Amino acid sequence: MSDLLCEINVSDIDLTDKRYKISFSEDDITFLAYSIKETGLVFPPVVRPLSNNNFIIVSGFNRVRALIYNNRAYDNETKILVYKTKSDATDYSCLIKSITALAFKRPLTHSELILSTRRLYRFLDKEKIAEKSSAIFNTKLTVRFIGDLLTLSALPDPALALIHSGNLSFNSAKRIASYDKETIKTFLKIFSNIKASNNIQLEIILHMMEITARDAIKPDNFFNHQEIQNILFDKNKDSGLKTKALRTWLFEQRFP
């Protein structure tokens, strides 16, 4: 039996439960809301019923936001058209729906792949994820790449946001993932304040680790150096200027 097309009260949707949300984008839904208002809802969101008669969103988070936007009065009278999963739908089947709904719409970003793989790993091992990757992600993923994704999924949550924004490249994330927790946190603080290319990020990581190894100090202690603090938290410099200043200073410290 397929999902049931029906109307539900928008107030019965738990908007705080985002267990199936894999997109990091919080798009401006103004145009989407206008499109729905003018042409109707082409692809209704998918929701999962809970035991308390409420629902959680499986896919279509932005569509639900747009529908609420079009019906400013958030009350029991506002109804929206949705596909409701079967009452016995499993967590795994709903997760697959959420991933494929986005993956067959556009290629997933690295941060979305990391988050999706982390959640899939609760049900499938690396080999099975690789085997099913074409059907789930709309692209073939190797076991090795899935291993990399799982390694990065162990990083603190702020890392995923930095990967999504481009402040932390995939390769740089792989590099810092091998360090201890405090060192990882140190680099996340650095890259949240600068904007650099992949190569420059790797250079900054390399120089910091070489300097701290040479001087026998911990990276988190080195991070507290007054010059680094002055560069990163200078409100008069944009992220590009901070990157240039930090890169220059680290080079001078590495090769005095």
Name, in order, each residue with C-beta under 8 angstroms of 213's C-beta and a sequence gap of 6 or more.
Answer: none
For residue 87, the tally of other CB atoms under 10 A from its CB is: 10
Backbone angle region of 141, left / alpha / beta, with phi > 0 → left and psi within -120 to 50 → alpha? beta
- Reading the block at residue 5, the tokens are 């097309």
R_g of the chain computed on alpha carbons = 22
Average pLDDT over the chain, rounded to an integer: 93
pTM of the full predicted structure?
0.89
- Reading the block at residue 107, the tokens are 């290629």
- Angle between the N-to-C axes of helices 126-137 and 110-120, in degrees from 0 to 180, rounded to the nearest 10: 130
pLDDT, tens digit (0-9, with 9 covering 90-100), for 173-228: 999 999 999 999 999 999 999 999 999 999 999 999 999 999 999 999 999 999 99
For residue 3, the tally of other CB atoms under 10 A from its CB is: 17
pLDDT, tens digit (0-9, with 9 covering 90-100), for 227-241: 999 999 999 999 999
